[in-house]
Structure 1
């Protein structure tokens, strides 16, 4: 995670850097570098789209490993910053060959970070206009930590904003609209129940570690924002380390990135709607929902075939159009106690085959809803595989056993076995290792044979945020750092489907 990348460019030119130099990035974009004041700015056809802050280093780094406390998909991160660099010195700016650039070149700024204790990190920052996206500027930052005993482990990128600028986005965030004056972490996790409101948060935390969450815990954290000035910033898909966006300075944004190499894009849109369109040019655009979704209600029901039939008949008898039913309990349920209340909650069996008690004729039942009522069926699935050896009404296949034998789940190298994830009392499971090609292929067959084969019309693909990051977590791809990969897992899980 913290290893410095090698910069393997062939230098085309290395002119001496004056106090104030201008570099053509292509397609009307120009980079201005003022070495004496450590100032950078990027303009497009004369209009500024990005610039650093006068009197403040645009790049910094610090030592120390962030502390992560985790249980049941709840992650609490205590940030650790030692010997944060206080300044920087630009050594040179050169034009380098760059494969992804529209004009095959990038402007590369190199220098040294200072005031870092005993460390003397060097840095490189590259800017270019991508051939795939000629309406924006891409960047890549690399910090070489050096050989100090207290080496840098993370970097900070700081640039100018406006005191009147509001910031939106950063994934599925529920507590604020604009994030002005906030510091927002980017880390996928259980979003929490209560999220700071009392007494709910306190009660949830009593039941399970950090289960109440806080104002920024979210399943879907995305390192991207769009501002009220129609400025768009986002990191690349490959830049998946833990990140925070600090908007507390009225005139600056600081991105704290928990690794030493990061990439991203700056964009200036015509308006905010155009900014969203520019962003989805990179991420891909959501396809339109099928027409049947708009033909009636989609009812979420639990309780089995008899109950589903009864509710459908009641609805249709009241002339309520029904497009589909979502039956997340198709794989069976069991009770789980909640410690702060004298009650049990219903949890699902994660074995991805139909339950013989609730849905004894699942395939035929799904088809009958379609034929008799023109009602479609939606199911449920997640990347967990629960050990169903204690399931009261039995099972046809124990997918946990199959995946364990094939080492298809994320491993614990201390025990040399599956890394068991707990989701409360009586619910222990492994999680599919998406870096294992054989495991992915096996799971695809499971989904085709045991989920889609019933002629369902879709399903909820839940979870992804539980990916373990313990010191002894091990993936099939042993080069992967669990802390770095954690944020990538939800995207990989969606891509699998």
Structure 2
């Protein structure tokens, strides 16, 4: 079964100026159950030397994480009685046009929104008492068993294991407010469940790492029962529902959630065929608590909002958009180029990081597309396009401490050079004569100048959206006559020349007869590196290697040479 479809949208004619909001996975909510025989009523677990995880069975059960320096202030906690891990399998379509993207969830096949906790265990460096729970995973966590070098690991770690499940299959979905509504379920169909593992590990004195992984979906099938048995089961379900309404706790005694599904033999065969297609989940959701008056800041470079409480924030690098919802410019941009107008959430540099007014902070690691759903006042739900997620929870008592803690891991920008803050950086276009004219004008006012930023150094071309740069990344010697001499003259006065470049390449067939261009080629080497080369069009192929990019599939040594 194909779960991802990528479409390149590039309409040469007019497009819909008011594109609809793409359908996406709704906020998932489910119940939390736990095994009272293996999970105690109340217990505290140490995570490294500086953190503590607390489990409480009150109100259905919840987890909380504290820093030892502030044992009464939770930096992360789940919602009592509600699932904090859920999973789904959905078909996704991605449309792209000139660097603008839209991600649509077309069909929702599986949803496991209920959760059990079977065990909460401490993993210590000298703990050799781990009993086999999976044939291939003695500790119950695959990455932990495959790890041989524990240098730098701060023990103890805490591992939470259990099942996510759904007794009933989704009946239908509708598109409402940009989400796939799935409130209606039907009683018959396969019950679905999967193992999950949540690992907490101290990374440094102010950071705790978390990993969530899902196993493969499992299906339970039962043949059709007799009318008498069916009646007894329905009576049992009715009585059980009454118990739940009275909020009486019932215990999950089996190691795997099992449902009674009444299907005929033909229906059973059909569902078995469908089950073969569902090899793994492609959505994992992490849900935890938030306070009603808690404000959320961050998420990288954002232009439309400061506080994101009440919004769904997608983390996807793309074009910022022309207009971003303001009319009539967004209307015009969308009309001539598919979704070029963008909206409030489109940005060049988003980041899966936030901090709140309650001094709580979290960020994700990895490259999977994610959405932070902050539409509910009492919770946060992170939806990740994948079957696992990694991230870190930060401890700090002020915004500056949280930022310092965050950049300690991801890196900090270098200090700005003295020359860039010694005067104005003049951004302009127009060519050599225009630059010299503005330079002379500024001299008459004794204005200090640090640099000229000339983004049109490559020249301009006419497109459907107006004048755009020639993305061929070589100087336009007609527009900027005497380019090298201009750089030398400015350098004598200690003025830098700054330019602009991006990873896009303009189609060479659009080249006019007034200029001679070099053509860029891309090829992949034997060792997996992507090589960017260029060759002159008017001479025999003369290949000169310019840049080497390692594919993003190998994240261990991605870099630039």
Interval of TM-score (by shorter of Structure 1 and Structure 2): 0.7 to 0.9
Contact 1:356 1:393 in 2 (8 A): no
Q: Pick closer, same or farther for the CA change 1:100–1:108 going to 2, 3 Å.
A: farther
How much does 1:83 deviate?
Answer: 3.6
Task: Say whether residues 1:90 and 2:117 are aligned partners.
Answer: yes
2:500 equivalent to 1:380: yes
CA deviation map 1:191-210 (0-9, x unaligned): 21222222222221111111
Counterpart contact for 1:43–1:50, Cα < 8 Å? yes
> Matches of 1:100 and 1:243 in 2, distance apart?
31
Q: What corresponds to 1:318 in structure 2?
A: 445
Number of the residue aligned with 2:206:
135
Residue pair 1:161, 1:251 contacting (<8 A) in 2 also: yes
Partner of 2:317: 188
C-alpha change, 1:95 and 1:284, in structure 2 (3 Å) is same
Q: What are the within-5 Å matches in structure 2 for residues 48-447 of structure 1?
A: 48-79=74-105, 81-96=108-123, 99=150, 102-115=153-166, 117=169, 118=190, 119-130=192-203, 133-147=204-218, 149=275, 150=278, 151-236=280-365, 238=366, 240-338=367-465, 345-371=466-492, 373-388=493-508, 390-395=511-516, 397-398=518-519, 400=520, 403-404=521-522, 406-407=523-524, 436-439=528-531, 446=546
For structure 2, the residue ranges without an aligned partner over 5 or more in a row are 4-36, 126-143, 145-149, 170-189, 220-274, 535-542
* Structure 1 residues 225 and 268: alpha-carbon distance in aligned structure 2, compared to 1, 3 A threshold: same
- 8 Å CA contact 1:101–1:129 kept in 2: the answer is no
Q: C-alpha deviations, 1:10-64, integer Å up to 9, x for none?
A: xxxxx95323332111223111234683421111222322110012101111111
Q: Is the 8 A contact 1:38 1:57 kept in 2?
A: no
> 8 Å contact 2:315–2:370 — kept in the other structure?
yes
Pick from 62, 65, 79 the counterpart of residue 42 of structure 1. 65
Q: Aligned to 1:439, what secondary structure does the other structure show? A: strand
What is the CA–CA distance in structure 1 between the aligned matches of 2:355 and 2:477, rounded to whole Å?
49
Give the match for residue 270 of structure 2: none
Whether the 8 Å contact between 2:46 and 2:157 is mirrored in structure 1 is no
Whether the 8 Å contact between 2:112 and 2:193 is mirrored in structure 1 is no
Q: Distance in 2 between matches of 1:440 and 1:134?
A: 43
In structure 2, C-alpha distance between the alignment counterparts of 1:374 and 1:174, rounded to whole Å: 34
- CA-to-aligned-CA distance 1:445-496 (integer Å, 9 cap, x gap): 6379xxxxxxxxxxxxxxxxxxxxxxxxxx985x94xxxx9xx9xx97xx63
Q: Please say if residues 101 and 128 of structure 1, whose CA atoms lie closer than 8 Å, have aligned partners that are also in contact.
A: no
Matched, 1:26 2:48: yes
Match of 1:458 in 2: none
8 Å contact kept, 2:531–2:545:
no
Q: Which runs of 5+ in 1 are unaligned?
A: 3-14, 339-344, 409-434, 449-474
State TM-score, norm by structure 1. Answer: 0.75
Structure 1 337/222 Cα, relative in aligned 2: closer, same or farther at 3 Å? same
Aligned equivalents of 1:370, 1:95: Cα separation in 2 = 63
| SS of alignment partner, residue 282 of structure 1 | helix
- Aligned equivalents of 2:369 and 2:496: distance in 1? 40
Taking structure 1 as reference, are residues 91 and 292 closer, same or farther at Cα in structure 2, changes over 3 Å only?
same
Q: Distance in 1 between matches of 2:151 and 2:364?
A: 16
CA distance in 2, matches of 1:374, 1:281: 34
Q: Does the CA contact (< 8 Å) of 2:336 and 2:464 recur in 1?
A: no
Query: Do the aligned partners of 2:310 and 2:375 also contact (CA within 8 Å) in 1?
Result: yes
TM-score by length of 2: 0.67
Change (3 A) 1:197 1:300: same
Judged with a 3 Å threshold, the aligned counterparts in structure 2 of structure 1 residues 223 and 444 are, in CA distance, closer, same or farther, namely farther
Q: Distance in 1 between matches of 2:531 and 2:159?
A: 41
SS at match of 1:368: helix
Alpha-carbon spacing, 1:436–1:308, altered in 2? closer, same or farther (3 Å): farther
String of CA shifts for 1:173-221, please: whole Å, max 9, x gaps.
Answer: 1111101111111111112122222222222111111111111111111
- State how far apart, in whole Å, the 1-side matches of 2:84 and 2:405 are: 25
Instruction: Return closer, same or farther for 1:263/1:27 CA change in 2, 3 Å cut-off.
Output: same
SS in 1 for 2:518: coil
Q: CA deviation at 1:394?
A: 3.1
Query: Counterparts of 2:298 and 2:346 in 1: how far apart (Å)?
Result: 14
Larger radius of gyration: 2
CA, structure 1 residues 101+145, in 2 after alignment: closer, same or farther (shift >3 Å)? farther
Q: How far apart are residue 71 of structure 1 and its match?
A: 1.3
